[in-house]
Amino acid sequence: SQTIHQWPATLVQPVGSPLSLECTVEGTSNPNLYWYRQAAGRGLQLLFYSVGIGQISSEVPQNLSASRPQDRQFILSSKKLLLSDSGFYLCAWTAVRAGVYTGELFFGEGSRLTVL
């Protein structure tokens, strides 16, 4: 069966420090991968998605970047964090079968980032 892991689960970072969140998927190949952010008490905002290695699409211009160095690895980064980057970051994947996106999105456990 497929599983998705992301880490770290919690981190507290000072303003201006770098960030790296990592996500890996097991049990599937060539998934679509996503990074969402959820501010406190708010909805889910799509930040980036990737349909393959090295292919990144950005949905919202911001202080963050994403990379996909391997088929089942997705990384969210920042060179200098802002206070507004605080939130709950969720990695997700969806299966592609016979070239068709199934639509079903499965989330990782989430990474809670507090920027002070």
DSSP state of 103: -
What is the token pair recorded at 68? 């996909």
Q: Does 1 bind another protein (CB under 8 A)?
A: no
Choices 15-23, 60-68, 71-79, 96-104; region in contact with another protein by CB under 8 A = 96-104
d(CA 68, CA 38): 21
Binding test (CB under 8 A) with another protein, winner from 25, 34, 66, 81: 34
Rg of the chain on CA atoms, in Å: 14
Contacts with another protein, residue ranges (CB under 8 A): 32, 34, 42-44, 46, 49, 51, 57, 59, 90, 92, 94, 100-101, 103-110, 112
